[in-house]
Structure 1
């Protein structure tokens, strides 16, 4: 729907990371293959990169580049709210798929262990699907990325 929105409104389109441009370029073929109305390719107004910040209301979110699910996947961390919007990287006792074009299982694990698991244990994780969790819970119980005791 982004290309149609841009035809009607002059609004910026922010993100993802530029490493996902190939996925945006493939939107016409991808949407057609699933039987959806064809969505034209587009390029965001602004790409997101590690260390960028986004302000939403009174909250500031830090952008973390977490390649693996896709090469350009990003997550959003708000320290003040102890909140991580994790998209399709980390789920309740599970992790995201890596069978998409240019997905990389080891990159996903490394980014979870090195970036997400460095956040405070009480950080609330809002995944792209299903129930919420915390960083501490995932460190202890996630069988895919459990940290050694």
Structure 2
């Protein structure tokens, strides 16, 4: 499994391409916008897009999903159904943050804890990690010890909980009880900013470090 990060939207959100080396089939995780840029990257890497995956329903992560699904004729998978209220109100989110796009989208499949998604011959585990939003999920590729965690965890920080139905205590519980058990060696791609490892965050992140 390989991946490529494509910063999109004015929020520089980390849209991520995960692909299977053998089949060249790819998943597009969190296409928040700039759909032409995403399509150009797929073509440049000679990938075969298979599905769109959403970690959660915020505009900068899901705002381009409907458009991209239409362009590429792909199913939209995820997030957890608790984020339906966000996906249904995508246009209101766009107006609130002052940039275009963000058509409402209805996923072809909702996800839950313990589900598994295939990407070519590879497999991604689904972990429900609420707190930033109630329906946030994380995608974990066990073979390469790589996770796309959306806005649950960042390099040196954690996701905001001041948006509708965010909850700080729930977010901390998700990190400690759903992410840390996956192992310190796991390298994660956050929704924004640089990558890190769970071990490094357990050592130094002031919100969730061991002993904090």
What is the TM-score of this pair, normalised by structure 1? 0.90
Q: Distance in 2 between matches of 1:137 and 1:5?
A: 35
Q: Could you say what the CA RMSD is over the residues aligned between the two structures, in angstroms?
A: 1.8
Tell me the alpha carbon deviations over residues 42-91 of structure 1, each in whole angstroms, 9 at most, x when there is no partner. 21111111111112233211000000010011101111001111111111
Number of residue pairs the alignment of both structures matches:
149
Indicate if the aligned counterparts of 1:29 and 1:38 stay in contact, CA closer than 8 A. Answer: no
More strand by share: 2
Q: Distance in 2 between matches of 1:83 and 1:9?
A: 26
Q: Distance in 2 between matches of 1:85 and 1:27?
A: 22
- Equivalent residue runs for 1:99-110 within 5 Å: 99-110=162-173
- 1:22 deviates by 0.4
- 1:32 deviates by 2.0
Q: Distance in 2 between matches of 1:127 and 1:3?
A: 22
Alignment correspondent of 1:19: 82
Q: Distance in 1 between matches of 2:184 and 2:102?
A: 40
Instruction: Please state if 1:57 is matched with 2:89.
Output: no
- Equivalent residue runs for 1:52-131 within 5 Å: 52-131=115-194
Runs of 4+ in 1 over 6 A off after TM superposition: none
Gaps of 5+ in 1: none
What is the TM-score of this pair, normalised by structure 2? 0.65
